[in-house]
Amino acid sequence: MSDIEIHGHAPARFAAVKDAMAASFAAGEELGCRFTLVEAGEVVVDLWAGWADRARTRPFDEATLTPIFSTTKALAALLIARLVDQGKLDYGQTVASVWPEFGQAGKASITVEQCMSHQEGLSGFLERMDPADWFDWDLICARLAAMAPIWPPGTASGYHPITYGFIAGEIFRRIDGRTMDVALRADLAEPFGLDLWIGAPDSEIARIPELQRPNALPDFGQRNDATRAAFLTPWAQPGGKGADALRRLALPSATGHATALALARLMGALADDGWLDGETILSPAVIAEAARSRIRGQDLVLPFEMSWGAGFMRNETVHPWGPGNETFGHSGWGGSCAFADPERKLGGAYVMNRQSAELLNDRRPRRLIEAAYGGL
């Protein structure tokens, strides 16, 4: 695989990025992937290579629409931030003020920013349920509203792999009236030509690559009720309805589909005072407020010390995305990531269809990002 053909463009100063991608293929670590870098609003690197299927008959190309799993959470965080920017929501207000039913079981004082930073204690369901229940939005929201927190809210973060999307999505719906998938397409994707989707409609299914799953489970470190609810029960993930139904499911925590170009352009805007194609998609003040650390410390679910903004992972602890402490974004299961570095006006994204078991430190995007920073 060392002779893989890499497509796209990277100027001479970013030649090491192309070499880094080639190295991942040479090591047998990739099936298909794409990496895009945006600097001060300009696409400076856009490279792709490999195959969209395991039989290696269909190329992974610039039209390939890749599942991004939890990198979707960055899109949800942006949509919530836009409500804040419009004066329709405040991060400090209670969730119950917009979603009254949520105030049950001791949750009346939980704030929007506590939910966005995984502090409210609803990382998943410990009680047995049908994995197909995840496809019923109202049912899951009712269960979350009635549920008592697994740990005392505000005392620690505990990553919410699936439930985050229902909580953020329901807050958004209660205020805006639309679901996040509809708002993303109408407000950002279509006006700016961004190939971004939460849930993939039938019209896009043919562009989605075949995934090569990891052959091992991630290392979650210490296991507790928060971790079990999040990841380690048979019902922790949606299931039982087939792959196409899962792709169509509009879940703002996990079923995003995107190209690296679209993600990098969006994150590049957040790194550049909100400017995208001459328009402001988010004010600089709200970008800073969304990215500001709400809690820092050992996460109860992920085996890392984490710093969480209002829906965004912050780079300052684990540094998956270059050296900047102010860089923020999100990573997804298997290796995808999208990040914004406001100190360097840099946005980047990596997508792929061969998944690794690493939760946050996948060496393939790290290799590309380190090479990109070397070219700055």
C-beta separation of 351 from 338 below 8 A: no
Q: Which two tokens stand for residue 205?
A: 């299914």
Question: Out of 70, 123, 307, 336, which one is annotated catalytic?
Answer: 70
C-beta separation of 301 from 121 below 8 A: no
How far is Cα 298 from Cα 142, in angstroms, rounded to an integer? 29
Is 70 a catalytic site residue?
yes
Residue 349 corresponds to which amino acid? A
Other C-beta atoms lying within 10 Å of the C-beta of residue 140: 23
**In Å, how far are 39, 198, 266, 291 from 74, measured between CA atoms?**
19, 11, 10, 11
Other C-beta atoms lying within 10 Å of the C-beta of residue 241: 14
Of 351, 188, 335, the residue nearest 270 (C-alpha) = 188
Residue recorded with tokens 């352009």: 265
**Residue 55: partners with Cβ closer than 8 Å, 6 or more residues away:** none
Element (DSSP H or E) covering residue 22: helix 15-26
Kindly provide the residue ranges of all beta strands, DSSP E only, lying in the chain, ordered along the sequence.
6-9, 32-39, 42-50, 66-69, 196-198, 256-258, 275-276, 279-280, 295-298, 305-308, 313-314, 328-331, 337-341, 346-352
How far is Cα 44 from Cα 58, in angstroms, rounded to an integer? 26
C-beta separation of 302 from 359 below 8 A: yes
Q: Which two tokens stand for residue 172?
A: 């958004």
Catalytic machinery residues: 70
